[in-house]
Amino acid sequence: MKRRWSVIKGQPLTEMDKKILAAQKKGFSVPSRNLVHSAEQIEGIRRSGVVNTALLDMVASEIKDGVNTAHIDKLVYDFTKDHGGIPADLGYQGFPKSCCISIDNVVCHGIPDEKTILRNGQIVNVDVTTILDGYFADASRMFVVGGETTPEKQRLVDVTLECLKVGADAAKPYAFCGDIGYAIQCHAQKNGYSVVRELCGHGVGLKFHEDPEVPHYGKPKTGMMLVPGMVFTIEPMINMGRCEVHFDQLDGWTVTTKDGLPSAQWEHTFVMTESGVEILTDRKSVV
Ligand code: MF3
Ligand code: CO
Ligand code: CO
């Protein structure tokens, strides 16, 4: 959907209005005003991020050989409820569980299951989205079961985290979503990896998935302009082998690599500020 920036009637144009209107005039995609959140809304998302971060810290201590993923899911549900929140995944478009747990060649949206048992050496993504007082925070981390895996899988996990970092560094105020995608794609490919294209980062905060779409590949100065007050995720899915993925038709959710090689993902929720992004889903926010 093409959005337009609307000015507030009867008020002088701010510096931000001027920058956005100039870009809009040149044909760049710009946000609509409702994608720019108020200080109060950002505080709400930040509080949701605090619970989300503590939740992933709790998950970290429970990832062990022999544990089934439905058990982790139950801990996610209980912890979220105990902290006054709601797990956004549960019932979202029919998703049956409270988090996604994606192992090795599973790219994302793995459904927790009693029969899926964690084993030493696996690389595992746990993705959790928390709703607190109506505000959404979305993050995921990689875990290595037992703390040790092959050098190849460890490098994939590490480089994928670097991809998230270079993406966040490219997210400057008045830059574009494509700048983020370009930075990530360059870093992944430089390391011999490929970027999943079918799934993207997204606006988040008042809803689970909102504009802008944040692809993890692309070209500079394409996609939506990012302006202070916007809240969005960056969540690169990086494959060791080819970029193609397969969507499970039976369960309707699980995404795997077509070539069967491992995939990794890290995700944070960010708010754009006047100087760059601030992470709303890391320990810095937990006071
Ligand atoms: N948390 C995922 C994301 O990063 C979305 C999961 S949707 C679910 O956007 F239904 F699978 F939970
Ligand atoms: Co997300
Ligand atoms: Co997520």
pLDDT tens track for 23-68: 999 999 999 999 999 999 999 999 999 999 999 999 999 999 999 9
Q: What is the mean pLDDT of the chain?
A: 97
Number of Cβ within a 10 Å radius of residue 240: 22
CB-based contacts of 150, cutoff 8 Å, min separation 6: 121
pLDDT of residue 283: 78
pLDDT cut 70: percent of the chain above it: 99
152 pLDDT above the threshold of 90: yes
Cut 0.75: pTM above it: yes
For range 163-187, the mean pLDDT: 98
Ligand 1 site-directed mutation target among 52, 90, 95, 127, most atoms within 8 Å of CB: 127
Nearest of 222, 246, 245, 251 to residue 116 by alpha carbon = 251
How many CA atoms, within 13 angstroms, populate the side-chain half-sphere of residue 279?
Answer: 21
Which atom of ligand 1 is nearest the CA belonging to 94? Answer: 10
Least confident among 4-8, 154-158, 176-180? 4-8
Ligand 1 atom 11: residue of nearest CA? 109
pLDDT of residue 285: 57
Ligand 1 site-directed mutation target among 108, 130, 231, 270, most atoms within 8 Å of CB: 108
**pLDDT range class, residue 287, cuts 50, 70, 90:** very low
